[in-house]
Structure 1
Amino acid sequence: MIKAYAAKQAGQSLEPFEYDPGALRPDEVEIDVLHCGLCHSDVSIIDNAWGITQFPVVPGHEVVGKVGKKGDAVRNLEIGQHVGLGWHAGFCGTCGSCATGDHNLCAAPQETIVGHHGGFADKVRARAHSVVPLPDGMDLAAIGPLFCGGITVFNPFVQFDVRPTDKVGVIGIGGLGHLALQFAGKWGCEVTALTSGTAKEKEAREMGAHHVINSRDPKVIEAAAGHFDFIISTVNVKLDWNLYLNALKPKGRLHFVGAVLEPLDLQVFPLLVGQRSVSGSPVGSPATIATMLEFCKRHGIQPVIEQFKFSQVNDAIAKLKQGNVRYRAVLSH
Structure 2
Amino acid sequence: MSNTTGINAYAVLQAGGPFQPYRVRVGALGATEVELDVLYCGICHSDLSMIENEWGLSQYPMIAGHEVIGRVAATGRQVKRFAPGAIVGLGWNSGYCEICHLCRMGDRNLCREARFTVLTNGGFADKVRADVNSLVAIPDGVDLVSAGPLLCGGITIFNPLLQFDIKPTDRVAVIGIGGLGHLAVMFLNAWGCEVTAFTSSVYKRRDALALGAHNTLNSLDPAEIEAADSHFDFILSTVNVNLDWDLYIQALKPKGRLHFVGVVVDPIQCTLLPMILGQRTMSASPVGSPATMETMLDFCARHRIRPRVEVYPMHQIEAAFQHLKSGKANYRVVLSREGDTPD
Q: Within 2, Cα distance between the matches of 1:22 and 1:172?
A: 44
**Selected match of 2:181 from 177, 183, 199:** 177
Q: Within 1, Cα distance between the matches of 2:168 and 2:327?
A: 32
- Deviation at residue 202 of structure 1 after TM alignment: 2.2
| Amino acid in the other structure paired with 1:89 | S
**Selected match of 1:22 from 5, 27, 33:** 27
**Selected match of 1:101 from 71, 85, 106:** 106
* 1:11 aligned partner: 16
* 2:57 aligned partner: 52
SS, match of residue 199 in structure 1: helix
Q: Within 2, Cα distance between the matches of 1:58 and 1:108?
A: 20
**Selected match of 1:232 from 228, 232, 236:** 236
Unmatched tracts of structure 1, length 5 or more: none
SS, match of residue 179 in structure 1: helix
| Amino acid in the other structure paired with 1:43 | L
| Amino acid in the other structure paired with 2:106 | G
**Selected match of 2:97 from 81, 92, 112:** 92
Matches within 5 A, 1:1-333: 1-114=6-119, 116-333=120-337
| Amino acid in the other structure paired with 1:71 | G
2:238–2:262 Cα contact (<8 Å) kept: yes
User: 1:140-162 deviations in whole A, cap 9, x for unaligned?
Assistant: 10000000000001100000000
| Amino acid in the other structure paired with 1:42 | D
Q: Within 2, Cα distance between the matches of 1:189 and 1:243?
A: 22
SS, match of residue 203 in structure 2: coil
Unmatched tracts of structure 2, length 5 or more: 1-5, 338-343
2:74–2:84 Cα contact (<8 Å) kept: yes
Q: Within 1, Cα distance between the matches of 2:40 and 2:28?
A: 24
| Amino acid in the other structure paired with 1:92 | C
* 2:3 aligned partner: none
Moved more, 135-144 or 220-229: 135-144
- Deviation at residue 52 of structure 1 after TM alignment: 1.2
SS, match of residue 36 in structure 1: strand
| Amino acid in the other structure paired with 2:280 | R
2:141–2:304 Cα contact (<8 Å) kept: no
Provide the TM-score with structure 1 as the length reference: 0.99
Q: Within 1, Cα distance between the matches of 2:296 and 2:104?
A: 21
SS, match of residue 200 in structure 1: helix
2:67–2:92 Cα contact (<8 Å) kept: yes
Q: Within 2, Cα distance between the matches of 1:155 and 1:172?
A: 18
| Amino acid in the other structure paired with 1:49 | E
- Deviation at residue 74 of structure 1 after TM alignment: 0.6
SS, match of residue 283 in structure 1: coil
Moved more, 192-201 or 228-237: 192-201
Q: Within 1, Cα distance between the matches of 2:174 and 2:93?
A: 26
Moved more, 246-255 or 40-49: 40-49
Q: Within 2, Cα distance between the matches of 1:147 and 1:15?
A: 25
SS, match of residue 141 in structure 1: helix
| Amino acid in the other structure paired with 1:85 | L
